[in-house]
Amino acid sequence: MNIMGDKIIFVLPLIFCLIHNGSGLSRIDPLVDSKVGLIRGLRATDGDYSMFMGIPYATVNESNPFGPSTPHPGFEDVFEAYDDSAICPQIEEFHNTVVGSVDCLHLNIYAPNSANSRNRLPVLVWIYGGGFSIGFSGRFLYGPQFFVEKEVILVTLNYRLGPYGFMCLDIPDVPGNQGLKDQQLALKWIKDNIEAFGGDSNQITIMGESAGGASVDFHLLYSQEKLFDKVILQSGAALSPWAIAEPDTSAPLKLSEHLGFVTKDIQEALDFLATVDTNLIIASIPELGLEFRPCKENNFENVEKFIHDYPLNIKKPSIANVPILTGYNTYESLYIYDKLSEEEFENLNVFHDFLVKYFNLDDENLIEMEQYVRNFYIGDEKISKAEEDGIIKFHSDLFFTYPVVRTIQKYLDNGVKNIYFYLFSYEGERNFVKNKQNITTAGASHADELGYLFDISYMGEPNPEDQLIIDRITTLWSNFVKYGNPTPETSELLPVQWPIVTKDLLNYLNIDSELQVEKRNFNTRIVFWELFYKLNEKAQIGYKEDSE
């Protein structure tokens, strides 16, 4: 059998377990000697790989659960890595129930059994999306089978969400971006320990979707250490308008009062909230209309900052040698508007509301800009169900489409050579959000690609058409992880060469029933937003003239 890592140890009682029902051999569960101690995993039953689940990489201070976490001290005894059920406090999306614990900073490692010290495999690290308020790393959604089959080690990780991950205050104990700093500690843990699992610590790709994609981009822009060498951003970027926000520094006072303790002192409120059940705090968030996002951090002595300035002001990131794979889906915001009734549409004021939220426009300019945007997407019509298509396109472009194209342009301007751009167009039975919400309208919605990247537990066996997409997209992604190029050579499975983007050609791969290389998708809509942002450059939240 293959050895997992430099040093693997089998304890005597495991040897006695070789006999199963009197004859034959049972599996031997792997035991890895890592820098943090002995970790025992499970031999998978659905493929030739091993699972090490629920490994704690950091701990949260119980007296300040809203503050930065610290590295986990490691294990004196063998850690049994059998459980991937940890979830950080949130209202989970499947049953709308309040769940979770701050003892959630765990990661899962899925390693092909061919991985060992003489055959180190590249590593793919997954950071989930969910608007910085929901998400978890377990196999219920993110089953590893499709990637481990491609001889890639997959790592999935939890990070804190909502008030525990993204409360941003003007005090050193809760400076902001705790969830991103959790991710960073996980990346350090992986860099330090993955070789014990047969991984190559010099070949680590970080990948995320939506808020996970924005998180990956934040690490690319702000990380001071070389913890990864390639990135995959799916439907999210640091320049997405929702990815960073002005913090509500009164949030602890509002939460505290709502839960029965009235004070005007932030520290008193935090001390009280630290004693309150996490479920009560999480349940209060929608009741109070609170939102927690990454933020630009203030300066505090002896406190390390993660985001020191708004992404739009970072002019020269030192990332020229990092290959980037990025893109989005054809009809991103379909999932938001598809199920709304006529009455709900008539109560929308999307153009005004989003421009107010994401731009600093005076009243006169706001009226003018709102008219421009409205006319472009729905002409002279009133907002109604009949204009759903235009409203979905507006929301998709503002939130996902244009920010990704803008990010590509920014990185090209900063000397990045290898950028691969995709459009996910395929509609099948495994389109994640459409499947979950029973949407039949045409188009690939936000997060729909996830069903083809991960073995989602409740989806069952893929049909032949969906299996082809799974094989193609996971091979493209795995090739990028291995070689920095998704199509190092063409084949029957991948019959086209995916070209890089250049300053002159916005090449992209259209991932549909067939793979096709095309140029500059949604061109008219992209040009509209290029002009809009040029016209309103100084109105962007966080804009400053003397940026770095």
Torsion angles phi and psi, residue 447, rounded to 5? 70, 5
- Please give the Cα distance from 206 to 237 (Å, whole number): 13
- Please give the Cα distance from 365 to 179 (Å, whole number): 36
Contact 392, 333 (CB under 8 A): yes
Q: Per the structure block, which two tokens stand in for 437?
A: 């919400």
Rounded (to 5) percent helix, strand, coil in the chain? 35, 15, 50
Select which of 210, 256, 284, 425 is catalytic. Answer: 210
Amino acid type, 383: I
Q: Which of 222, 212, 199, 87 is nearest to 152 (CA)?
A: 199
Contact 318, 136 (CB under 8 A): no
Q: Which of 216, 184, 187, 221 is nearest to 201 (CA)?
A: 187
* Cα→Cα distances 539→81, 361, 374, 474, Å: 50, 6, 19, 40
Torsion angles phi and psi, residue 48, rounded to 5? -90, 70
Q: Which of 188, 121, 227, 185 is nearest to 481 (CA)?
A: 121
Q: Which of 381, 385, 394 is nearest to 350 (CA)?
A: 394
- Please give the Cα distance from 229 to 325 (Å, whole number): 12
Strands 121-127 and 153-157, by their bridges, are parallel
**What three-state secondary structure class fits 89?**
coil
HEC states along 113-152?
Answer: CCCECCECEEEEEEECCCCCCCCCCCCCCCCCHHHHCCCC
In the annotation, is 235 catalytic? Answer: no
Residue 22 CB partners (closer than 8 Å, separation 6+)? none
Q: Per the structure block, which two tokens stand in for 337?
A: 């508007």
Instruction: Report the b/e string of 482-500 with b at 16+ CB within 10 A.
Output: bebbbbeeeeeebeeebeb
> Annotated active-site positions, please?
210
